[in-house]
A and B are shown apart, each in its own frame.
Chain A
Amino acid sequence: AQSVTQLDSQVPVFEEAPVELRCNYSSSVSVYLFWYVQYPNQGLQLLLKYLSGSTLVKGINGFEAEFNKSQTSFHLRKPSVHISDTAEYFCAVSDANQGGKLIFGQGTELSVKP
């Protein structure tokens, strides 16, 4: 069975500082990896995804993530955050096949302070 662990439930950071949100997964099969963002009282928006190829993936809003197979990690980074990045961030994994369900982590609440 697959599982996702987001090591930090809350990450407070000052505006324009860099941030890293950590995600580790476990799976016995090849996986696809995703980061979603959820703004207050809204749905889930895809930030970025890793399917294959380059392990460094760039997404929307200046976010990027690096797939590390040996460490089974997929950490999300942004070099300089904005107030508007305040949201809940979810890491998710699926089987590397079509139509696979997503297994989500517990989420990390990113709070950007001025």
Chain B
Amino acid sequence: EPEVTQTPSHQVTQMGQEVILRCVPISNHLYFYWYRQILGQKVEFLVSFYNNEISEKSEIFDDQFSVERPDGSNFTLKIRSTKLEDSAMYFCASWGVAGGLNEQFFGPGTRLTVL
């Protein structure tokens, strides 16, 4: 069964450092997303990406964040200068006809810890 994969599973970084979280969406999917979940809180939408550009972003997704699809398989989230409050679980998701109509498949997440 196709699945979304994410690396690394856990990332520890110092405040102010740049981090790149990586995702491999399901092949042939069209839409890609990043969500985050601060410990003990709900899952929050960050950004959606379609046709090689951002289709929608939330207020959380400020200038410190960027996304990229550098090749045909990877989808990355970059945080330019991490803050303590960026500590969270980050989930990548993808959607497409191959995965079923209107069902987003989620990756296992990357736990980001900012010290």
Any chain A CB within 8 A of the CB of B95? yes
Would you give the 0/1 interface string for B4-44, flagging 1 where the beta carbon is closer than 8 Å to chain A?
00000000000000000000000000110101000001111
- The size of the chain B interface, using a CB distance under 8 A, is 25
Within 8 A of B (CB), among A39-94: 42-46, 49, 51, 90, 92, 94
Distance of A42 Cα from B108 Cα, bound (Å): 6
Assess whether A28 is interfacial by the CB under 8 Å rule: no
- Inter-chain contacts of A114 with B (CB < 8 A): none
Docked pose: A100 CA to B45 CA in angstroms: 11
With a CB–CB cut-off of 8 A, which chain A residues contact B91?
43-44
User: Is there an interface contact between B44 and A43, defined as CB atoms closer than 8 Å?
Assistant: no
Please determine whether A94 and B102 come into contact, CB atoms closer than 8 angstroms: yes
For A107, list chain B residues within 8 Å (CB): 42
Query: In the complex, which residue of chain B has the Cβ closest to the Cβ of A49?
Result: B103
A13 within 8 A of B: no
Chain B residue with Cβ nearest A4 = B42
A51 and B43 contact, CB distance less than 8 A:
no
Q: Is the CB of A102 within 8 A of B35?
A: yes
| Complex Cα–Cα for A98 and B55 (A) | 12
A11 to B55, CA, bound (A): 37
Quick check: B33 and A46 within 8 Å, CB to CB? no
Are B106 and A43 in contact (CB-based, < 8 A)?
yes
Q: Specify which chain B residues have a CB less than 8 angstroms from the CB of A99 in the assembled complex.
A: 30-31, 48, 50, 55, 95
CB–CB B103/A104 < 8 A: no
Q: Name the A residues within 8 Å of B42 (CB-CB).
A: 90, 104-107
Residues of B within 8 A of A (CB): 30-31, 33, 35, 41-45, 48, 50, 55-56, 91, 93, 95, 101-109
Given pairs A36-B106, A102-B104, A104-B45, 5 additional interface contacts (CB within 8 A):
A32-B102, A49-B102, A99-B95, A101-B56, A105-B42
What are 11 residue pairs bridging A and B, where the CB atoms are less than 8 Å apart in the complex?
Answer: A42-B108, A43-B106, A44-B91, A46-B103, A98-B31, A98-B95, A101-B45, A102-B45, A102-B93, A102-B104, A106-B42
